């Protein structure tokens, strides 16, 4: 018996069992919105580990698995599973891609300063003066994205320069 076969025999089935319990528990927690943050990360990473160990489990028991797939009830179960997945993919409306706050920041980067200034509660002249104090000469039609690129700065750095001081 090779080292790989020994490892499969020793770890594939127990690993599949343990990780399925953990992924199941974290899945229930996420489904009912009981927690987020670290639970999401645990669920995602251990889910990947579960998928890998499950493949190893199938490799270890490939003969039994092939025999099982020849049974009619298993074929029906596999077909129902595929149809269920297809229904979810087809019927669940797509979410807009990405974080909405990041999309908003990208839109602000592309807006001319004259349009951006009122949004941040400043006049165009105030924003241009703040940029000048930061060492950047700009025009009302310039965008933060363009200015950042031309002056080799990050857009966030320019936003920090143009935003008015926080009110107390």
In this predicted model, what pLDDT tens digit does every residue of 94-113 receive, in sequence order? Answer: 877 788 888 899 999 999 99
**The residue to which tokens 């996420």 are assigned:** 30
Report how far residue 25's alpha carbon sits from residue 31's, in angstroms, rounded to the nearest whole number.
10
What's the angle, vertex CA 11, arms to CA 72 and CA 30, rounded to 5? 75
Looking at residue 98, what is its pLDDT?
Answer: 80
With beta carbons less than 8 A apart as the criterion, state whether 8 and 60 touch.
yes
Q: Which ranges of the chain have pLDDT less than 70? A: 168
Write down the pTM of the prediction. 0.55
């Amino acid at each position: 018996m090779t080292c790989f076969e020994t490892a499969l025999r020793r770890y594939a089935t127990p690993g599949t069992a343990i990780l399925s319990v953990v992924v199941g528990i974290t899945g229930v927690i996420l489904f009912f919105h009981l927690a987020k943050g670290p639970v999401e990360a645990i669920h995602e990473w251990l889910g990947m580990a579960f998928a890998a160990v499950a493949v190893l489990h199938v490799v270890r028991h490939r003969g039994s698995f092939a025999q099982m797939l020849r049974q009619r009830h298993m074929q029906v179960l596999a077909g129902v599973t595929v149809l269920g997945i297809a229904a979810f993919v087809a019927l669940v409306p797509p979410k807009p891609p990405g974080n909405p706050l990041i999309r908003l920041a990208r839109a602000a980067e592309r807006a001319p300063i004259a349009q951006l200034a009122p949004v941040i509660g400043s006049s165009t002249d105030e924003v241009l003066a703040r940029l000048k104090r930061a060492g950047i000469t700009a025009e009302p039609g310039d965008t933060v994205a363009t200015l950042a690129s031309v002056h080799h700065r990050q857009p966030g750095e320019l936003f920090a320069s143009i935003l008015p001081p926080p009110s107390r």
